[in-house]
Structure 1
Amino acid sequence: MNWLRGALLEAWGMAVFAVIVGFLGPFGSYTGNTLVYRVQTWGGLLLGAYVFVRPLIWGSDHLARRTDLPREALAFWSAAAMSVPLAMVWRAVGQDAFRALNGYAVLVPFALLCALAVLGVTRWAHSTSRRLQIRSAGAAVPALPEEPQPEIDGNADIKNADGAPKLMARLGSAFRFPIVALQSEDHYVRVHGANGSELLLMRLRDAIAEMDGIPGEQVHRSWWVARDGVEGLAKSGRGWTIRLINGQLAPVARESVDRLRRSGFLRELTDGSI
C-alpha cells in the first residue's frame, strides 16, 4: 500500500469521525457550544486517540505476520487494551468536554469505542488504498480476450498456448511468465513473478485453482509457492522461510513443514538449505 495515500485516507476518515462526534456533542458538550468549537475540541481528543492506538495497530499487524496469530483478533485486543490509559489521559486534559461524566464508568467504554473507531478507519483506509492501486494499475480482473479457443479434453489441464496457466490471462501485459508465488492480501491476491508482482481482486484458493496443475504447494494459509520458484530455505526463529528466485521471502507454517518434506517439496541438503 502506498504509505502517503494510506495516511491521507486515514486523516480523512478521522476528520469525518471528528465532525460526526462534534455534531452529536456527547458528555454535555452540545449545550452552549458552537459546532465549530465542538469539532475542534473532539478533533483534538480523537487525534490523541489516533496517536495512542495507531502504533499498536501497526505492531499487532506485524506480530500477526510473524506468529500466524489471527490478525483482526490481535488488532482488536490491542486497541481495546489502550482504552484505559486513553481514558486516563482524556480525564486529565479534557475536563470541560467530560464535565457531565461521573468517573470512568462511561469514559472507559467511550474510549474503547474511539479506539475501535481508529481501528475501523485504518482498515477502511487500507482496503480503499488497495482498490485505488488496482484501479490505477489496471489490475482489476479483466475480461478474457475474445480469441478462438482450441477444443480440449474436459479432464485435461486448461493452459494457454505457451503453457502458461489460466491465471496469466488476468494479469497485465507487462507481467512475464513464470508465476513464482501467490500471496493473499485481504481480499486480493498478489501474484509474484520473477521480476515483479501484480494484485488481483480474487481469493487465494481461486487463484490456486487457475494455476492449472503447475507444480507447487500452499506453504502457509496466505502463501502458495511454485516448485520452480524456490531458491532456498532459511531458518526464521522457530520456523522456516522460503527464499524465492525473485528474492522474496515466503513464510512456511510450522504445521506444514513435515507435510512439505514428505511430499518432496522441501529437499534437505547438508548445509540446511534446499
Structure 2
Amino acid sequence: METFSTLFSTVTLFSLAATSAVAVIAGPFGTYETMSLATRTTYWGLAISIGLLVAYLSRATMATLFGERRPLLFDLGASLMVSTIMAPLIWGLRAWLDPVLDLQHLSLPSIALNIFVIAVGIFVLRRQIGLEKPAGYRGINEDDKVPQTRLHRRLTTLDGAEIMRLSANDHFVDVSSDRGVETLRLRLGDAIHEMDPIEGICTHRSHWVALSAVVGVEQAGANKTFVILRNGDRVPVSRKYRPRLVAAGLLE
C-alpha cells in the first residue's frame, strides 16, 4: 500500500510522460530506424507504462520480503524481478509492433541483461539521492536503526525488528512487526509500558499501534474506522479511543 500510494502522483505521471517523449524522439535500441513515429509512440508508451507497473510491483515485493533493513538484497532482487518479467513482454511487444525486424537478432537474454542493467542503475541512483532509505549499502546508520525497547528483550524470533502493533489475546500479547508476529505471555498494559521510547497510541482496548507505522486511515461504513499500518495490518478504532486519534492528528 505504501509503495503503490505514489503510482498516480504528479511526479510519477510527469516522469512517465517525459521518458516516453524522450524515447519516441531518440528511438533507442534501433526503434528509430525500423519504426514509424506512430509505431514508436505506441511501442515506447506501452513499454514504459508496463515497466513502471512492474517496477512498483517489484518494489512492493522486496519491501514485503526485506523491508528497509537489507538495501543490497532489496535493489538486486527488485532489478532481477523487473528484468525477468519485462524481458519476454518487451520481446513480444517488439515482435508485434516491429514485424520488419529479424527476430533472430532479437535475443531474449540480451533484452533481459539490458533491462537488468538499467533497473540496477535506477534503483542505485534512487538510493544515493535519498529517495530510498537507508541510503547506501554499507549498513545501517545509527540514526536509521530501529529503537530498541525493553519489550525487544523478550522477543526470540523478531530480534531487532520494528514493532508496529500490540494486540491483546486473552492472557497473551501478539507483537506485530515488519518481520512477522510473535506472541508473548504478557498483559497488554505491561507490553505498552515496555515500548518506551517509541511513541504510540491505543486505538481500541485491545490494540496499540506505533505512530511511525501508521500510513493511513480507512472508513468502512458510518461507524467503522481502521488504522492502516505499513505492514498492511488494519487495526480497528473504537468510539471510546477515537478522540485520542483526533488529538494525534490521525483523524479529523
- Look at both structures and tell me which one has the larger radius of gyration over its CA atoms: 1
What is the TM-score with the length of structure 1 in the denominator?
A: 0.43
What is the TM-score with the length of structure 2 in the denominator?
A: 0.46
